[in-house]
Amino acid sequence: MYLAEDKAKASTVQPADGHCADTVDLMTAATAPGGKWQTFPNSHISHHGAACCDIAHEWLIAFDYAQLNGGDVLTGPRWMREHSKWGPTAWPIHWCEAVDADVVDCGVHAAIAQEAFVARGVPAFRAQFIQRYSADATASWRENWDKESVSDHWIDGDAIYHEGNAVLVGTDEVKLWDGSAGWWINPRGEMGYGSLAAVRIEADLEGFEDGLRWGERRIKLNQWVAV
Amino acid sequence: MKIYVSGLYAGGNPQPGVGIVRSLRQGYPDATIVGVEYSNRVSGIHFDELDELWIQRPWGELDLDAYGDKVCEALDAGGLWISGSDLEAMWLASVFPDGHPNLLAPPMSGIKRITKPVVEAASSLPIKIPTYLSTEHSDWDLHAFCREHNWRVWLKGPYYDASRTPTWDTFTAVRNALSKVWSTEKLFLQAHVSGYEESVMLSAYRGELLGAVSMRKRDITPEGKTWAGDVSEVPLAFMEPLRQMVRDTNWTGGGELEMVRDGSDQLWLIEMNPRFPAWVHGSTIAGHNLPALLVQAASGVVAKTVPAEASEFTRIVLEVPVRPDYPLPPLPEPFAGAVGHSMKHPSGLTALAARLHKIDPDMLDVAMAPDGTEPPNGLAELPDTFVADIGRQDFDAMQTPQYIYMESTAESLFKRADDRAHRLSTNDVEVISGYSIKTNPDKRLIKLALDHGFYAEAISLGEVQSALEVGFRPDQVILNGPGKWWPEGLMPRETMHAVFCDSIADLDRVVAAVAAGEMSAKHIGIRIRTPNITSRFGIPLDSPTTFAKLIAAVKRLPTDSAFGVHFHMASSHVGVAQWWHLFESMLRWCQSIEKLSGRTIEMLDMGGGWYPDDWHEDQISKIARAVERVRTMLPAVRQIASEPGKAMAQPSMALAMRILEIQEHEDDYVEAVVDASIAEIPMHFWQPHRMVRKCSETGELQPIGRGKTHLMGRLCMEHDIIASNVQLPEGTRAGDLLIFCDAGGYDRSMSYVFGRG
């Protein structure tokens, strides 16, 4: 995950740094649905301002369309998970790096999927999730992220912060796409391992003052909503 | 209370019997549940919740009349019967045409109304039926269906069994196999629908819906069968028409609607089964015990309710003790020298299918058209020009096998293409056609191309020379392909119309050759290889890295030639709709290439591999729209070249042959040896040919339909079978003339000399 405010100072960030320059207090208790991620911004991929990133971005849009294979434009960009596995990403990351990387985190997957959906003409919004796992799972991920010297601030106890997309499928109905998993999140709201504890959809309120419908729920925009 | 339950097969593709028993046991702990089976190899008979077993001999051996009497006795004695097998339910419906109060299976009238693929009874439900076509249609039409649906099609039998047939040879092989298994030629092709699978299970008694649940598959076996799922209420919009459907069909028993939900949330009905599904107990776990509701309605005895344990279920594999009175039979020995054991269903269900056909030849029919509609006759119509061209031949003086040049057919095809190109051209954008010489290098066809304003598309310098010999000028030649420098020394020094580079190495060589004055072209461009389609040609776009190399390479192209892009994929191979998606995708790639390289595209060359019907008949409006799309997306394009390829060549020749010998075998099976072979018609595996016999007495052209005759080529090679499952017209004998049309494309250009001396 990469913080929006860092995009502005991307040129000053050394890619070798390997850690997110976040301003979130990692020790904040998860008292709200968002917990320590209460004000956490969505990840944004940086642009070198050069041909390398232009080429990568153009390739992404054309490649996604090619992969649609004649299918419905609402088909999730499942190809992303095949193209780049889920794993640690050192932030900041630029388009030319993100699109060509073998391993990327959910922030990259979500940022790429967002570009793909929008280029297809599908209204889509960035979405943030908090998911329940287990101590074993989060310990394992913490170890993997540590090995790559990448910040593991997305892990908090048995919970994790995750990113995806909310894709508009009706006038005010969305489906939630988890690009790192390659599936649509089940809106039935099961509890337990891997389940969704909270969601925040970042979108312009205009036209959606009552939020967006996801399954049986209505999700208020730009705020964490417990599931 | 005694309840008979059948369909206890509990292998990887299980029947519902064990699930029904588990559910009934929850609802009626004290009931006597009798497991009914037709083989002691069916593992479900060892399930310990069964109180009694009633094991019959396999369906192939059973005396059906006597067995029917026994079932009747059991029902008359108060026993209830829940069938777990489609075919058994059909047989029971034939035994009890008016039903029986204790038979908890649908009546024959209801079963007939859920016959695949139309599933007429479900027409009021908010679901669609995927497009389908009966295999009673001609091979010509079936091939067209496969192309139209991008070869993402399934060949299905009346019950069970569906095989993907991604190529024509697979289709013909599967058709033979399924016809044998189901003792019927009446199969159907159905378009694939991509999406998530879900089902609605129902329970009904005498036309009253007792309950229904919805299930989404959450894990599947390699065969696509349910392994895990989540259960929920059926939405009201579905429930009400479902209730009406149950009334209309006077349904009794379980039932399942198998569906796919596509990306736009549309439900497509794949089939409806006249029984509970194998995941039936998953529903009971979720608090919906539909088998118990059925028994409750039939018996009046209230079932014990058990609260839901979860809304999701999954399967596990369990080892259970074998009942000592039904010890496991030995596994049959593999045939000598063969690999593996027969894994057919142990109860011999396909034998039951054959017997049901004898009881009622229409019972297992697939439902294709409304009653009274004339069924297709399986014969492809011959165009008038074919008849005229064949009629002009002097077959008496003709040595066979012999290719026949279909003169008026060829002329009309080239003329139509010429007219269309003119019609689509504007002052700003010229539309031209290129004749792909490799498709058929016959000089008569090349000349026709020249006379009708085509350009010559060549993939070798030898082909360039052929075009020049016929009269093409170098500036009417488009040079393409990976080996365009071969043979050496024949590259024209005059300016050619266009040269396309197949790789970056090729591009660098072209750039060097142009710089050295060794070649010149009005347009120099690239062939691109769009991702997601397997191809050995063109410059790949698979990764940002390869794309960056392409952009850099385009920047190296000489600036005194116009820039062009070539895109080629055989539409007959990938399917028509897929081709148009690729076309659209290619335009997007072109926009990106223009934006990133700074070079505007002035010529677009789009091939190819068009099947004649797709090109000549219903594509005109699509091609016009495509031209418009190019104008919008790539405004600098001044010329669009299309390469109809085999759309021109394939119908332009036919192959005449004579029957050498006819061998009659048992069961109407006939083998006829002809003097042609796969050396003259090498594409027979990949495409159908419209075939006719010329009647030796009347001279009439008689279409050859489908039947039990195999046409064997003259070669001493095992695979020299040039047509399978055809029906020669009455009176055909040795010496008669057969004509295979549609042989002027790769059949002609790839024919070889094997077996000619």
Looking up tokens 């008038």 gives B384
B515-534 mean pLDDT: 93
Q: Do A72 and B150 touch (CB under 8 A)?
A: no
Find the range with the poorest average confidence among B96-110, B350-364, B446-460.
Answer: B350-364
Q: Which residue of A has its CA nearest to B232?
A: A188
> Do B193 and B130 form a contact (C-beta atoms < 8 A)?
yes
**Residue B655's closest CA among B446, B394, B390?**
B390
Q: What number is the average pLDDT over the span B217-232?
A: 94
The rounded distance, in Å, linking the Cα atoms of A65 and A119 is 9
Indicate if the pLDDT at residue B252 is higher than 70. yes
Put simply, the answer to whether B531 touches A66 (Cβ < 8 Å) is yes
Query: Cα separation of A42 and B666, whole Å?
Result: 74
Nearest CA among A177, A163, A20 for reference residue A93: A20
Mean pLDDT across B218-241: 95
Is B583's pLDDT higher than 60?
Answer: yes
Predicted confidence (pLDDT) at residue A167 exceeds the cutoff of 80: yes
Q: pLDDT-derived band of residue B618, with 50, 70 and 90 as boundaries? A: low
Pairing of strands B705-712, B653-664: unpaired
Collapsed DSSP state (helix, strand, coil) of residue B606: strand
Percent of chain A with pLDDT over 70: 86
The interface predicted TM-score of the complex, written ipTM, equals 0.90
From A122, which residue of chain B is nearest by alpha-carbon distance? Answer: B264
Asked if pLDDT for residue B248 goes beyond 50, the answer is: yes
Q: Which of B276-285, B387-396, B566-575, B746-755 has the lowest mean pLDDT?
A: B566-575
Q: Do A67 and B531 touch (CB under 8 A)?
A: yes
A12: confidence class by pLDDT, cuts 50, 70, 90: very low
Helix (H) or strand (E) holding B95: helix B86-95
pLDDT value at residue B184:
80
Q: What is the pLDDT of residue B291?
A: 98
Which of the four pLDDT bands, split at 50, 70 and 90, describes residue A22? very low
- Residues of chain A numbered 145-204 and touching chain B (CB < 8 Å): 169, 186, 188, 190
Strand B601-607 and strand B562-568: pairing? parallel
Chain B environment of A52 (Cβ under 8 Å) = 548
The span from the CA of A132 to the CA of A27, in Å, is 18
Q: How far apart are CA B529 and CA B523, in angstroms?
A: 19
Do the Cβ atoms of B585 and A190 come within 8 Å? no
pLDDT exceeds cutoff 80 at B411: yes
Residues of B within 8 A of A66 (CB-CB) are 530-532, 541, 582, 585, 588-589
- In this predicted structure, what is the pLDDT of residue A16? 31
Q: Do A65 and B264 touch (CB under 8 A)?
A: no
Q: For residue B607, what pLDDT band results from cuts at 50, 70 and 90? A: confident
Put simply, the chain A residues between 57 and 96 with a CB less than 8 A from any chain B CB are 58-63, 65-75, 96
Is the CB of B581 inside 8 Å of chain A's CB atoms? yes
Nearest by CB to B263, from A66, A72, A96: name it: A72
Which residue from B230, B577, B592 is facing A62, i.e. has the nearest CB?
Answer: B592
Cβ atoms B705, B379 nearer than 8 A? yes
Q: Which residue of B has its CA nearest to A96?
A: B544
B48 by Cβ neighbours in 10 Å (0-12 / 13-18 / 19+) ranks as exposed
* Separation CA B104–CA B100 (nearest Å): 8
* Residue A170, amino acid: G
B375 C-beta neighbours (distance < 10 Å), count: 11
Give me chain B's average pLDDT, please. Answer: 94
Mean of pLDDT values over B253-271: 96
Mean pLDDT in residue range B596-625? 86
Contacts of A55 in chain B (CB under 8 A): 544, 547-548, 551, 596
Judged against a pLDDT cut of 50, whether residue A20 lies above it is answered with no
SS3 B519: coil
Q: Which candidate, B547, B627, B623, B559, places its Cα nearest to that of B589? A: B547
Q: How crowded is residue B341: how many other Cβ atoms within 10 Å of its Cβ?
A: 11
The predicted structure's pLDDT at residue A32: 64
Stretch 1-60 of chain A: residues touching chain B, C-beta under 8 Å: 51-52, 54-56, 58-60
Q: What pLDDT sits at residue A190? A: 78
Give contacts of B232 with chain A, Cβ < 8 Å: 188
Nearest to B551 among A55, A66, A186 (CB): A55
Are B295 and B27 within 8 A, CB to CB? yes
Q: What is the CB neighbour count within 10 angstroms for residue B756?
A: 11
pLDDT of residue B343: 61
| Terminal alpha carbon distance of chain A | 22
